[in-house]
Amino acid sequence: MEQGGDLSERDQPAVAALRGRILLHTRTLKAAALAEYAGDGTVLCGAGALGEVKDALRYLGTVSVLADPAPYEEHFAGVSDSFYVKPRPEAGGLLSLPHGVDRPGQDQLAAGATAALTPTRYFAAGDDLAVSAATRRVRQFDPSQVIFTVPLAAEWLQSDRDVRFLIGALNRVPHVKALALGSAGDPLPDRASAQRLRILIDNINDVALIRAGLAGLDSYARGAAFVSIGMQKSCRAFRPPDAAGRPDANRSGRPKSYVLHPDLMQYFRTDALAHLYGFTTPPPCDCIVCDGRSLTRFSDDPDDVREAEQHNLATWLPWAEELQEASASDRRYLWRDRCYAAIEAHERAGLQWRSRRDPGPPAGLTLWATQED
């Protein structure tokens, strides 16, 4: 049945329904195209997310559906304004804030979302006071229905001190904590950052990672409560409110094709991938979308952008299913072995590319492939 805003009408506590899930994080629901892939559910992202929840429930059935309004893309958190809330005098019910402020997330539950993601503002790197204030306020909300969204600047992962602070602060909150990383570039630019993200996942109680790339699968393998993997580039990390430069796949820019190489476990701009293969034969892809066609065929035409996104989903979904089918104790070893095979594939590809500039494997992948702890 559809999830509603009243806990008494639900089959189980909302947060319990999400445990063990690997969700799709997307800016828009293309129901006809995504229905066959949406086994675990979806997170609808952006200002229009709430309006698509009912459509998602209609087309995707009983899978989990969350709405991520993503105010952290535009608003900084402070000591007195942890959450972005529109005044709604008529609101009432589940969530409560002092002084008559509207209840964050109530509209998500009323629309039928499985649980409410708090509309948290963006935590700039090292802003301990803003994080502490948010952890105090979120304790007023029902942890069986409300997930604490924690949108962090990726620079939090540059400091051991900051990581220790986050572990201590977030462990004082009884809710599931859904971490999301903001960066104008790669949120995991080096092995140390990837390792610190692992430390957060390993040491924060009831932690999730949302709006992620393949780091979401690494987190799932290490015991995250649930994760969501981005369909669009802008949903595999978010651009901070003060990010400069071209937004690429952001809502304010024209989307481009990014292709997940199945053997290398790395996302490439399609023109960059074509350049790397040069005059050699690019590999065919056997996913259900490509059906043996070349990985370098995609352009930035809107139809090709959408097809590349579907290829990406069809590529990582079997990896996710493998992890879900394995025992909790086996998951990290399965994931490590898959990542190690990708590193070996990078070495072979480097020989094929020879005269081209080999970008090398992503820093996160090198950690996932070689370090278990």
Quote the pLDDT of residue 365: 97
pLDDT of 57: 83
How far does the chain reach from its first CA to its final CA, in angstroms? 40
Predicted TM-score (pTM) of the model is: 0.90
Give phi and psi for 139, each to the nearest 5. -70, -10
The sheet carrying 207-212 orders its strands as 64-68, 41-45, 22-26, 227-230, 207-212, 177-182, 146-153, 116-117
What pLDDT is attached to residue 39?
67
| Closest listed residue to residue 85, CA positions, set 134, 124, 38 | 134
Q: Are 153 and 72 in contact (CB under 8 A)?
A: no
State the pLDDT at residue 86: 73
Helix 328-353 vs helix 363-370: angle between axes, to the nearest 10 degrees?
A: 130
pLDDT along the chain (373 residues), means of 10: 36 79 86 58 90 82 88 96 75 44 78 94 98 97 95 98 98 97 95 98 98 98 97 94 61 79 95 86 91 94 93 95 95 96 92 73 95 67
Q: Which residues pair with 266 in a beta bridge?
A: 261
- Compute φ and ψ for 317, nearest 5 degrees: -60, -40
Contact present, 187 and 210 (Cβ < 8 Å):
no
207 bridge partner residues? 177
Contact 243, 252 (CB under 8 A): no
Cα dihedral 309/311/314/319 (nearest 10):
-90
Backbone angles phi, psi at 353, to 5 degrees: -75, -25
For 85, which DSSP code? Answer: -
Instruction: For residues 226 and 212, give the distance between their C-alpha atoms in angstroms, rounded to a whole number.
Output: 12
> What pLDDT sits at residue 244?
66
How many alpha carbons lie under 13 Å from residue 287 in its C-beta half-sphere? 25
Residue from 118, 111, 105 nearest 52 by CA: 111
Model pLDDT, residue 245: 54
Residue 372 has what pLDDT? Answer: 67
In angstroms, the Cα distances linking 70 to 77, 192, 231 are 13, 27, 15
* Beta strands per DSSP E along 12-95: 22-26, 41-45, 64-68
- Backbone φ and ψ for 66, nearest 5 degrees, come out as -120, 155
The length of the chain is 373
The DSSP symbol for 4 reads -
At residue 247, the pLDDT reads: 47
Q: Judge whether 330 and 359 are in contact, CB under 8 Å.
A: no
Consecutive H or E run containing 161: helix 160-170
Q: What is the pLDDT of residue 87?
A: 61
Fold classification of 7-235 is TIM Barrel (3.20.20)
Return residue ranges of the chain for CATH 3.20.20: 7-235
CA distance 8 to 34: 31
The pLDDT of residue 373 is 63
